[in-house]
Structure 1
Amino acid sequence: MPKLKTNSGAKKRFHVNKKGTVKFRKANARHNFTNKSPKQKRHNRGTSTLVPQDAKKVIKELFPYGA
């Protein structure tokens, strides 16, 4: 069997921690800030973790060797 490839888009967007949680950067925090409220800009700052159901799916389907 040949080696499986990790999804290229996933390795740029997600990071799997030791516990198995998946960290990601929040969307809508790059440009067009004049149209966004201060609350929206504040909440989109930084990173967050996926819920366990989605994390399991990301690891299983996009990271064949567990990231």
Structure 2
Amino acid sequence: MFLTLGLRVLSLSRTFSTSAVASFPKLKTHQGAKKRWKAISSGAFKRAKAGHSHLNVSKRPDRKNRLSQLAYSSPTQTAILKKAMPYS
């Protein structure tokens, strides 16, 4: 649809933003990493240690205490996890 005003021709067709096109394709988050790791404010990641849920009778108390603490990602792991979880 065009509208003529004197010598000017104005187009009334809708223009669409192209900003969304630049971000394609969308990146998928690795589901296993999402379930195990949480991002912290420093940019690193934290996780719970495995082996604290069952068969605890044969484990020493100091070992159970260590297993209940958090584990943090090393710099190498952080680089891998940032690719695996791009939106965290």
TM-score scaled by length of structure 1: 0.81
Aligned pairs for 1:1-67 (under 5 A) are 1-60=24-83, 62-65=84-87, 67=88
TM-score scaled by length of structure 2: 0.65
Give 5+ residue unaligned stretches, structure 2.
1-23
Give, in angstroms, the shift of residue 33 of structure 1.
Answer: 0.3
Give 5+ residue unaligned stretches, structure 1.
none
Provide the identity percentage: 34
More helix per residue: 1
Aligned residues: 65
Let me know the Cα RMSD of the aligned residues.
1.4
4+ residue stretches of structure 1 with deviation over 3 A? none
Structure of greater Rg:
2
